[in-house]
Amino acid sequence: MEDRPLHGVRVLDLTNVLAGPYCSYQLMLLGAEVVKIEKPRHGDLARRLGPEPALNDAGIGASFLAQNAGKKSVELDLKEPADRAAFDRLLAGADVLLENFRAGVLERMGYGWEALHRTNPRLVYCAISGFGQAGPMSGAPAYDQIIQGLSGMMSITGTPETAPLRVGFPVCDSVGGLVAAMAICAALAGRARTGEGVFLDVSMLESSLSAMGWAASNYVVSDVRPEPMGDQNATAAPSGTFDAADGPLNIAANRQEQFETLCRLIDRPDLVTDERFADREARKANRSALNREINVALGSRPALEWERLLSTAGVPAARILTVPQAVELEQLRARGYFTDLPFPGHPDRTLRASGNGVHLNGAPLRPVSPPPLLGEHNAEFETAEVTTP
């Protein structure tokens, strides 16, 4: 990984489950050496999460395997003096310390920002938590679903009849991890200029509200309260999910020329001159009527045919796939999104590890080793000398 931007950066990763491990996975893909500091005999909780009980019992659950390839694992109990001494040695040579405990937990263990900064003035310390390190909710526990609810995200997911609904994957964990990774990279760039480390306080709640974009800004700027609209896009029409002959099809004809092209290709040019659909605001006001007309026309062909026809003509359109169908897309294969790695503890299996969608000088960022077994690298760090950055 010597050609990657974060080559030579060592990250001490105290995180569990998803937001923190997702952050450090991004840093690993960018070239950092990530050392997971795990509780002896237990490790990251995600080691025991996943659909295969045998893997969970072995401490290599699918949830762990998904975000921890390319990392190293060292067992340390920060309540034990000898392990604290080992951790202190690692801190002296680290570039980044990442944790996702509740606010104040690490400080109560003697590793608050001031103590860390004295130990290693160049250290970038990033704390990911549900609500941030200050404020009346800072000490409250939080998982992804809690943040989805408090952010307002669930209130606008689904239809008026089904909302509130949880987004189908832990989006707040992922967003919090991405924001933390971005902040760490920025802090490392700043340190190259100033020579000083910084303390990064990342709130999943605030990160998630930021990612909601127009749903939040339309209210705080224009006092427009977002409502659940199911598969429809509030900013444009026709934009949402429609019915082809054999199943659903997403179409986003958000611009006037795209709408006109769509009408021509579905053999309904009359819709362009219908005053109900003359411009964006008129189409939004008459969305239901417009959708009915388009659905009738789309019933003449299967979704894949429409996808190809409309996309070729510049109208964004695509089928709605299942997860198994999505991961087998030729587009992902062509860009090398997945990497086949040895499966920890199972020589008869292969692990498909995800990338992150970034190509560096034309090549995808890939993990170079499988997720570690618990404590796999204990000996390496017991004997290694610390090099102060």
pLDDT in tens, 279-336: 999 999 999 999 999 999 999 999 999 999 999 999 999 999 999 999 999 999 999 9
Q: Is the pLDDT of residue 385 over 80?
A: no
pLDDT in tens, 102-114: 998 999 999 999 9
Residue in 95, 173, 246, 267 annotated catalytic: 173
Unique residue bearing structure tokens 């401490």: 59
Residue 35 backbone phi and psi in degrees, to 5: -110, 110
Specify whether the CB–CB gap between 333 and 349 falls below 8 A: no
State the Cα–Cα distance between residues 376 and 38, nearest whole angstrom: 11
The total number of residues shown for the chain amounts to: 389
Specify whether the CB–CB gap between 34 and 98 falls below 8 A: no
Q: Is the pLDDT of residue 384 over 70?
A: no
Residue 190 is predicted with a pLDDT of 97
Residues 6+ apart with CB under 8 A from 294: 238, 242, 251, 262, 266, 268, 271
Residue 386 is predicted with a pLDDT of 45
For residue 1, name the pLDDT band (cuts at 50, 70, 90). Answer: low
% the chain with pLDDT above 70: 98
Alpha helices in 94-143 (DSSP H): 105-108, 113-119
Instruction: Give me the mean pLDDT over the 263-271 stretch.
Output: 97
For residue 381, name the pLDDT band (cuts at 50, 70, 90). Answer: confident
Domains with residue ranges and CATH for the chain: 10-211+334-383 (3.40.50.10540), 239-321 (3.30.1540.10)
State the Cα–Cα distance between residues 307 and 286, nearest whole angstrom: 24
% the chain with pLDDT above 90: 96
Residue 254 is predicted with a pLDDT of 95
Instruction: Give me the mean pLDDT over the 24-52 stretch.
Output: 97
Query: CA–CA distance from 332 to each of 168, 326, 354 (Å)?
Result: 21, 9, 10
Average pLDDT, the chain: 95
For residue 383, name the pLDDT band (cuts at 50, 70, 90). Answer: low
- Closest to 307 measured CA to CA, from 241, 208, 224: 241
Specify whether the CB–CB gap between 204 and 198 falls below 8 A: no
Q: Is the pLDDT of residue 337 over 70?
A: yes
Residues 98, 79, 23: CA angle, nearest 5 degrees? 15
- Provide the token pair at 236: 């444009």
Q: Is the pLDDT of residue 143 over 90?
A: yes
pLDDT in tens, 61-97: 999 999 999 999 999 999 999 999 999 999 999 999 9
- Closest to 242 measured CA to CA, from 234, 257, 253: 253
For residue 387, name the pLDDT band (cuts at 50, 70, 90). Answer: very low
For residue 268, name the pLDDT band (cuts at 50, 70, 90). Answer: very high
Residue 92 is predicted with a pLDDT of 94
For residue 2, name the pLDDT band (cuts at 50, 70, 90). Answer: confident
Whether 77 sits among the annotated catalytic residues: the reply is: no
